[in-house]
Chains A and B, each alone.
Chain A
Amino acid sequence: MALSFSIIAIGVLALIFGLVLGYASIRFKVESDPLVDQIDEILPQTQCGQCGHPGCRPYAEGIANGEDINKCPPGGEATIKKLADLMGVEPKPLDDAHGEEDVKKVAFIREDECIGCTKCIQACPVDAILGAAKQMHTVITDECTGCDLCVDPCPVDCIDMVPLTQTTASWKWDFSDSPRGDIPVKMVS
């Protein structure tokens, strides 16, 4: 008798909790991006293909399917850390088989050497190179992701990757980044 009571009681309780939980899961459903979108959000979108995928999104899909998170040199440590947080895995050092983390660069075409072959235009994943056949090409600096993909196709090697220079807008209040003027300088924090 006591046994059946307890079984019934527990059963009823289980039912009630089940209902409550079920209700809660519908009522308080957290809308979240699908995993791939979240990963894609973190990746730097250089579309450089250094990870071995044709673009960032395919790599995001790869990560979602369990690929290593340390194949993105443009993102570097910061991206790996964020990915590790998102995926709940340990951050690893960058896999140097895919390249090394470098300062941010943009492509620059030495315009007097350009023969107008349009090869770089086809290579650019984000359409950041402007030009037409037999016409000089140039890079839209603001759109360039620094992916490097235009450098190799160039038959005359007139594309350089130049590091982005520090400007007053990109200065991060790091006095060690400041050039010294005519007054000798001691830096305080």
Chain B
Amino acid sequence: MRLTLSSSPHQRVRRDTGQVMRLVIYAMVPGIIAQTVIFGWGVLIQSVIACTTALLAEGLIVYLRKRPVDRTLGDCSALLTALLIAVSIPPALPWWMTVIGTLFAIAVAKQVYGGLGFNIFNPAMVAYVVLLISFPAAMTMWLPPQSLSTLSPGFVDMLSVIFTGYTMQGYDVGQLKQLTDGLTSATPLDTLKTGLTQGMTYSEVLSRPAFDSGLFDAMGAGWGWVSLAYLLGGLMLIQQRVISWHIPGSLLVSVFIFASMLHLANGDLYASPIFHLTNGAVMIGAFFIATDPVSASTTSRGRLIFGAAIGFWVVIIRTFGGYPDAVAFGVLLMNMAVPLIDYYTRPRTYGHAAKSNRKK
């Protein structure tokens, strides 16, 4: 019989780190389902590869660092990182690239900094950028939505592609990208980028098959639905108070504003805000990546600035940069700025005069 001499508060809210991470993972489910339905089994296979790698790597490193393995794995942060990597890489990426990316995320971007809570960069985005820079060709090999593709690989084919590079029938990834009309598919962002460099106008590009003519013209075929699924998951997270609205809200609004400004300035050269919002990783970035608490800003005002700045970089890099998408770069850039943002957005403490706040 022991009496607990503990410090108040003795009451705690029953939601620990693991639960928070699991909730985020559950909220990703709609998006993953949408990706599976639209782009095939690839994303699921990649998820399995990434998760296995992540858990093994984290377990091993934590063991070597002599920290409690079960508790560290129990917080599910490695799982979440792995899933974020899996959904952001092309579904047909060779397996070893996924493994390298995940290893890099866990070992270098996270554990080298001291593990969960100490990493200054979002591990999933570090992995993504590392892969993108190391394997630019493979990392842009997105398969077309299954509705558009000539050969829509099944589960076994996909498995075979990922592990051997060829389907059971012997097609490689390049061939899988063939569309029904004989053209090669690319992501809508790629399509726009190449279209614009070829001298096409924005509205001409929209008529390419990479775009859906359903809900919005500018919505990428299939991509729009994936984005909407992630939006749904993200709203669930906000409703569950797992994340605050500040970062996704300001990020989306800022993407919208900057894209609108450019679009209004020259509608032929610059894509519409709807295009920017529904394509690429903006939605998942806004709700799942930029909101990673460890590497995001911690004050309310800071989070608004953080989100808005990411939105700004996304539009700028997408429009003027060399890479088609920019969420990863935007997030990493702003991760670096977090200490600065936090320092300058300290809230006014109760009872302090408004200005003496930052006085040393």
B5 touches A185 (CB 8 A): yes
B7 touches A189 (CB 8 A): yes
Chain B neighbourhood of A189, CB < 8 A: 6-7
B7 touches A186 (CB 8 A): no
**A183 located at the interface, meaning its Cβ lies under 8 Å from any Cβ of chain B in the complex:** yes
**A167 located at the interface, meaning its Cβ lies under 8 Å from any Cβ of chain B in the complex:** no
Which residue of chain A lies nearest to B1 when distances are taken between CB atoms in the complex?
Answer: A184
What does the 1/0 interface line of B1-43 toward A look like (CB < 8 Å)? Answer: 1111111000000000000000000000000000000000000
Chain A neighbourhood of B2, CB < 8 A: 184-186
A188 touches B5 (CB 8 A): yes
**A173 located at the interface, meaning its Cβ lies under 8 Å from any Cβ of chain B in the complex:** yes
B1 touches A175 (CB 8 A): no
Distance of A47 from chain B, by nearest CB (Å): 34
Distance of B276 from chain A, by nearest CB (Å): 46
Q: Whole-angstrom distance between the alpha carbons of A26 and B178 in the complex?
A: 73
Chain B neighbourhood of A185, CB < 8 A: 2-5
Chain A neighbourhood of B6, CB < 8 A: 175, 187-189
What does the 1/0 interface line of A163-189 toward B look like (CB < 8 Å)? Answer: 000000000010100100001111111
Q: Whole-angstrom distance between the alpha carbons of A173 and B2 in the complex?
A: 19
Chain A neighbourhood of B5, CB < 8 A: 175, 178, 185-188
Q: Whole-angstrom distance between the alpha carbons of A189 and B10 in the complex?
A: 12
Chain B contact residues, majority secondary structure: loop
Residues of A in contact, count (CB < 8 Å): 10
Within 8 A of B (CB), among A86-135: none
Which residue of chain B lies nearest to A173 when distances are taken between CB atoms in the complex?
Answer: B7
Q: Whole-angstrom distance between the alpha carbons of A185 and B2 in the complex?
A: 4
Residues of B in contact, count (CB < 8 Å): 7
A184 touches B3 (CB 8 A): yes
Q: Whole-angstrom distance between the alpha carbons of A183 and B3 in the complex?
A: 6
Q: Whole-angstrom distance between the alpha carbons of A173 and B7 in the complex?
A: 9
Chain B neighbourhood of A183, CB < 8 A: 3
A188 touches B1 (CB 8 A): no
Chain B neighbourhood of A188, CB < 8 A: 4-7
From B1, B5, B6, B7, residue with most partner A Cβ within 10 Å: B5
Chain A neighbourhood of B1, CB < 8 A: 184
Q: Whole-angstrom distance between the alpha carbons of A183 and B5 in the complex?
A: 10
Distance of B2 from chain A, by nearest CB (Å): 3
Chain B neighbourhood of A175, CB < 8 A: 5-6
Distance of A168 from chain B, by nearest CB (Å): 15
What does the 1/0 interface line of A146-174 toward B look like (CB < 8 Å)? Answer: 00000000000000000000000000010
Chain A neighbourhood of B3, CB < 8 A: 183-186
Chain B neighbourhood of A178, CB < 8 A: 5
Which residue of chain A lies nearest to B2 when distances are taken between CB atoms in the complex?
Answer: A186
Q: Whole-angstrom distance between the alpha carbons of A185 and B4 in the complex?
A: 6
Q: Whole-angstrom distance between the alpha carbons of A186 and B2 in the complex?
A: 5
Q: Whole-angstrom distance between the alpha carbons of A89 and B83 in the complex?
A: 49
Q: Whole-angstrom distance between the alpha carbons of A188 and B5 in the complex?
A: 6
Distance of A172 from chain B, by nearest CB (Å): 12
What does the 1/0 interface line of A57-100 toward B look like (CB < 8 Å)? Answer: 00000000000000000000000000000000000000000000
Q: Whole-angstrom distance between the alpha carbons of A185 and B1 in the complex?
A: 8
Q: Whole-angstrom distance between the alpha carbons of A138 and B6 in the complex?
A: 41
Q: Whole-angstrom distance between the alpha carbons of A183 and B1 in the complex?
A: 8
Distance of B237 from chain A, by nearest CB (Å): 31
Q: Whole-angstrom distance between the alpha carbons of A73 and B7 in the complex?
A: 34
Q: Whole-angstrom distance between the alpha carbons of A187 and B7 in the complex?
A: 10
Chain B neighbourhood of A184, CB < 8 A: 1-3
Q: Whole-angstrom distance between the alpha carbons of A175 and B8 in the complex?
A: 13
Q: Whole-angstrom distance between the alpha carbons of A188 and B7 in the complex?
A: 8
Chain B neighbourhood of A186, CB < 8 A: 2-5
Which residue of chain B lies nearest to A183 when distances are taken between CB atoms in the complex?
Answer: B3
Q: Whole-angstrom distance between the alpha carbons of A145 and B5 in the complex?
A: 34
Distance of A187 from chain B, by nearest CB (Å): 5
Q: Whole-angstrom distance between the alpha carbons of A186 and B6 in the complex?
A: 9
Within 8 A of A (CB), among B49-74: none
Distance of B70 from chain A, by nearest CB (Å): 20
Q: Whole-angstrom distance between the alpha carbons of A35 and B4 in the complex?
A: 49
Q: Whole-angstrom distance between the alpha carbons of A176 and B203 in the complex?
A: 73
Distance of B3 from chain A, by nearest CB (Å): 4
Q: Whole-angstrom distance between the alpha carbons of A159 and B6 in the complex?
A: 40
Distance of A188 from chain B, by nearest CB (Å): 4
Which residue of chain B lies nearest to A176 when distances are taken between CB atoms in the complex?
Answer: B5
Which residue of chain A lies nearest to B6 when distances are taken between CB atoms in the complex?
Answer: A188
Residues in A lying within 8 Å of B, measured CB to CB: 173, 175, 178, 183-189
Task: Provide 8 A-B residue pairs closer than 8 Å at the C-beta atoms, listed in order of the A residue.
Answer: A173-B7, A178-B5, A183-B3, A185-B5, A186-B2, A186-B3, A187-B4, A189-B7
Q: A184-B1, A187-B5 are in contact. List 11 more A-B contacts (CB 8 A).
A: A175-B5, A175-B6, A184-B2, A184-B3, A185-B5, A186-B2, A186-B4, A186-B5, A188-B6, A189-B6, A189-B7
* In the complex, the 9 A-B pairs of residues with the closest C-beta atoms, listed nearest first: A186-B2, A188-B6, A183-B3, A185-B3, A175-B5, A184-B2, A185-B5, A187-B5, A184-B1
